[in-house]
Structure 1
Amino acid sequence: MALGGSTLADRILGGWLGRIAGNMLGKPVERGDHWTRERIDRYLRRADALPLTDYFPALEPPPDPVEFELRPEWQECTRGRIHGSCRDDDIDYTLLGLQLLETHGFDFTTEQVGDLWLLRLPYLQTFTAERIAYRNLAAGVKPPLTATLDNPYQEWIGALIRADIHGWVNPGDPRTAAAMARRDAVLSHTGNGVYGAMWAAALIAAAFTADGPRDAIEAALDRIPPRCRLARTVRKAAALYEAGVSRSDALDQLERDTSGLHWIHTVPNAAVITAGLLYGEGDFTSTIALTVRGGLDTDSNGATAGSVAGVLYGAAAIPPQWTEPLRDRVRSAVFGFDGARISDLAARTHRLAMARAGAGAGAGTAVG
């Protein structure tokens, strides 16, 4: 499947818009130990907002402020109150990834990823594995020891949320996307944490030429070790869908299979993302809504599912209730990016993707 220049540009813009919209949708309930699937749906029923077809509504005052306590930043990322995107680390790392490729090219090193963090990213806007790696970098520790020294979060979701840019610049080439994501991920993660980044980048790259989400998921699985826990869990999610198991029952079974893992761990969140993509059945709104309603790390999962769906269907297919409130603006803690236009970021990403194609990268697809 060949992607013409305008089609590729629309798919990349779809990835950016989908990532930001999905992230925004999940932000109010980003606390997986409190906002379970059941609690999210109870809130939405009280708000008369099921099925979820727009950003989270605000109940004022909440009928039960203990049960239905939204994240503190909820006021600026709920329906009717969004005036440009909210700042979030899920988007900060996407911007850093764009800066990385523009500055150092496609053969960047893990050390250059760390140098860019120290230069552009405020320490207090990092969390879990990234904060540990940042601290290690500042102390003079070099990769890959930055990922393992005093780091109990090595398999959490942080590397996965950094992977999108590597998929966007490698349309139709999940192998190269996964390899680039791995170089980024090993700064802070090991094991399934690294495989999650490779899987997400490959998933997004495959989405450019896939027949649908199932095809993209299969292509992404080829890029990670087949017996790792992440691969086994993603295959299980896909098998449950193929067997006709209801979404609720599938998520119940996947939750049992991954019990004992933290709600920010890569593996259970990849299960929620996979289920959202499959049960969304080709519809952008259903995909991000079902993913966020799946709970756990809701903003990260919504962002990744939105990115994949945006690439699969293109910016033109994203309903306006998701994109118009963003006002083509992104907020960020990354130096030099706050207030940037989303359309400009997508155009810069498109230039990188075209440069990859011009250099002979992207085997297996034609882009031009």
Structure 2
Amino acid sequence: MFGQTTPSEEKINIEEFRDKMLGCWTGKNIGGTLGAPMEGKREMTDVSFYVQELGGNPAPNDDLDLQLVWLLAVEQRGAYRLNERMLGEYWMRYISGPWNEYGTAKGNIVNGLYPPLSGFCNNEKWKNSNGAWIRSEVWACLFPGAPDEVMRFAWLDSCVDHCGDGIYAEIFTAVLESAAFVESDVRKLIDIALARIPADCRVARSVKLAIECHDSGIDWRTARNRIVEESADLGWFQAPANLGFVVLGLLYGEGDFGRSICISVNCGDDTDCTGATAGAVLGIISGRKNLPQKWIDPIGNAIRTVAVQNYQLYVPATLEELTDRVIHAKVQVERENPTLPRLTTGPTRISEAFRERFGKAGEAAERVLARSSRALGFDLPWGLLTVEYGTSPVTAPGETQRLTISITECPHDNRLACFNWQLPEGWTMNPGPSQALQCKQRMTAFLAVEITPGEFSDSVVYLPVRLRLSDRRSPLWLAVPFQLRGAVGQEDLVYSEWYKDDEDRLFARRAEKLFLK
């Protein structure tokens, strides 16, 4: 797949890796269980240990169980055969949670707005929220010590139900956690992750504010309030502030596991997510063997699900079973990409030159950040066709927009890809409904057109496109979707306005989770 490559000289001892990964999942369960009772509270809290009766089991948490879906996709398809549309199909089959961005993504996919459009369209309220960065650990465990490479999969994952800062948030956590397998300095890890998201995005602003407050000697409670104020225009349950709370826990906790997760949780808001991610990061750094036993004993090693269909998902019963499955998948990923750091029975060996590259994003990372959430891809037998909307597939009659059509990965030189758009009456295209694009090996061919919708015959119109390669007689048919603005309602399943207060909202979400369990 990667042509002529030189196998990586960077090695990670498999037993150390297993202990760190088991620490990751254990810390995830601990932090998520600690924060579960406070989820949705907008005020600061003051917990120092679990407040609920646990009976030896963790609280069920979508933060972990969503990742089981991606693990299955890697096991069945191979990591480097995955694309965003394929992950969207796994989403539709296995993820049952209907709330917020999860449900919006499903509704979009039903209407043909496949990833990444499923995270971009009809998702203004939740596009920057927390559903993606909370599920980054599986990618970090599959790509340990590979911060540039893990970005690719964080993007594929997060674009299913997010765009903008919702995507940058998962890139941030996936990079930080991937690097944590070979770097234990928290401040360096934060800098490594910051180097791989846009410097002016809202996630970066919150993280930098947390760092500034810490370095200025401001107490964590004051720092928390400053982060809340800085993100006030986004509202609650949004990624920038909550990732700021994770960073506060990591910085102000000063390496103390219990203190760190408690600070993140006590900041309020999406507390199960902040506690779970802070716990996962510290679990990777310390390994399971160095986590405080007092935090492990009340919840044990079980996995409890809440947002996935267990049938045919092969849910592991324990964290140990999950860890062993991911190790098996990691070995598979190494076969697909031999340039990654490799597991070995010998000592861990990560060169200084390799570590130095962590400080700056490489070309692969830049390509990830350049990807558009307004693009719809079509796998062809002879390449990849992408249609990028200038504004959005959600539009209205008379609104002209630019479409950029591109073909990549074509193995043939000097062939014409001939397009013929079957436009409904009243729809127009400039320079016309027929175009041709010259394809060349190892190059990307571009074509720009303008389209102006006429009247919509339905809430969603699928424009048929006849596509033929110049030396092939048989055509391919594609369907390019356009949705009439305002014709598809977005029901807020959890936080509807009829809830009287935050307590009602929280009760409704918990009731849904219990029902779906």
Q: Where does 1:262-281 land on structure 2 (aligned, <5 Å)? A: 262-281=235-254
Match of 1:69 in 2: none
SS of the residue 1:326 aligns to = coil
The answer to whether the aligner puts 1:130 opposite 2:139 as a matched pair is no
CA contact (8 A) 1:331 1:339 kept: no
Q: Name the stretch that deviates more: 264-273 or 354-363.
A: 354-363
1:301 alignment counterpart: 274
Equivalent of 1:210 in 168, 183, 197 = 183
- Aligned twin of 1:226: 199
| Structure-2 separation of matches of 1:337 and 1:329 | 14
Question: Which residue of structure 1 lines up, in the alignment, with residue 40 of structure 2?
Answer: 31
Percent of matched pairs sharing the same residue: 29
Name the residue aligned to 2:475: none
Equivalence for 1:118:
92
1:81 maps to a residue whose letter is L
Give yes or no for contact 1:83–1:325 (8 Å, CA) kept in 2: yes
**Which ranges of structure 2 fall in alignment gaps of 5 or more residues?**
1-9, 345-517
* Cα deviations by residue, 1:19-55 (Å, 9 ceiling, x for unpaired): 111111100010133xx11xx22xx4xxxxxxx1x31
Q: Distance in 1 between matches of 2:162 and 2:330?
A: 26
Q: Using the TM superposition, give the Cα deviation of residue 150 of structure 1 relative to its aligned residue in structure 2, in angstroms.
A: 1.7
Tell me the amino acid that sits aligned with residue 9 of structure 1. Answer: R
> Cα deviations across residues 87-143 of structure 1 (Å, max 9, x unaligned)?
222122122222222122212111111111222122xx2321111001222333322
What is the deviation of 1:324?
2.3
**What secondary structure sits across from 2:57 in the alignment?**
coil
Select 1:11's aligned residue among 17, 20, 32: 20
CA contact (8 A) 1:31 1:297 kept: yes
Cα distance, 1:360 vs structure 2: 4.6
Partner of 2:321: 344
Q: Contact 2:68–2:315 at 8 Å: present in 1 too?
A: no
Give 3-state SS (helix, strand or coil) of 2:12's partner: coil
Distance 1:232 1:140 in 2: 34
- Letter of the 2:319 counterpart: I
- How far the C-alpha of 1:357 sits from its partner, in A, is 4.1
Give the partner amino acid of 2:61: D
The structure 1 residue matched to 2:119, chosen from 126, 129, 147, is 147
Task: Indicate the residue corresponding to 1:177 in structure 2.
Answer: 150
User: Following TM superposition, by how much is the alpha carbon of 1:327 offset from its aligned partner in structure 2, in angstroms?
Assistant: 2.8
**Contact 1:15 1:306 (C-alpha < 8 Å) held by counterparts:** yes
Structure-2 separation of matches of 1:105 and 1:296: 36
The alignment's TM-score, normalised by the length of structure 1, stands at 0.84
Deviations 1:181-230 (A, max 9, x none): 00111111111010001111001101111132111111111111112121
Q: Which residue of 2 aligns with 1:47?
A: none
Report the count of equivalent residues.
Answer: 329
Stretch deviating more after TM superposition (337-346 or 130-139)? 337-346
Deviations 1:147-204 (CA, angstroms, capped at 9, x unpaired):
2232121111111112221111111111111221001111111110100011110011
Match of 1:324 among 286, 297, 302: 297
Partner of 2:330, secondary structure, is helix
Q: Is the 8 A contact 2:316 2:322 kept in 1?
A: no
Q: Which residue of 1 aligns with 2:164?
A: 191
Distance 1:116 1:322, change over 3 A: same
2:50 aligned to 42, 45, 55, which one?
Answer: 55
Residue type matched to 1:127 in 2? W
Give the counterpart letter for 1:348 in structure 2.
Answer: R
Q: Deviations over 1:229-271 (max 9, x none)?
A: 2112212211221222221222222222222222211100011
Task: Give the whole-Å Cα distance in 2 for the aligned partners of 1:161 and 1:330.
Answer: 16
Aligned residue for 1:3, secondary structure, equals strand
Judged with a 3 Å threshold, the aligned counterparts in structure 2 of structure 1 residues 88 and 362 are, in CA distance, closer, same or farther, namely farther
Task: Output the CA distance in 2 between the equivalents of 1:128 and 1:264.
Answer: 10
From the two aligned structures, give the one with the greater strand fraction.
2
Residues 278-320 of structure 1 show CA distances to partners (whole Å, capped at 9, x for unaligned) of 1111121111111111111000111111111100110011112
Q: Is the 8 A contact 2:54 2:299 kept in 1?
A: no
Match of 1:100 in 2: 73
Residue 348 of structure 1, CA deviation: 1.1
Tell me which moved more, 95-104 or 297-306.
95-104
Does structure 2 conserve the Cα–Cα contact (< 8 Å) formed by 1:330 and 1:340?
Answer: yes
Q: Report the more deviating stretch, 197-206 or 331-340.
A: 331-340
AA paired with 2:50?
Y
CA distance in 1, matches of 2:85, 2:39: 31
What is the RMSD of the two structures over their aligned residues, measured on CA atoms? Answer: 1.9
Call closer, same or farther: CA 1:161–1:126 in 2, change over 3 Å. farther
SS where residue 298 of structure 2 aligns?
helix
Q: String of CA shifts for 1:315-367, please: whole Å, max 9, x gaps.
A: 0111122222333211114323556111100111122234434555565x554
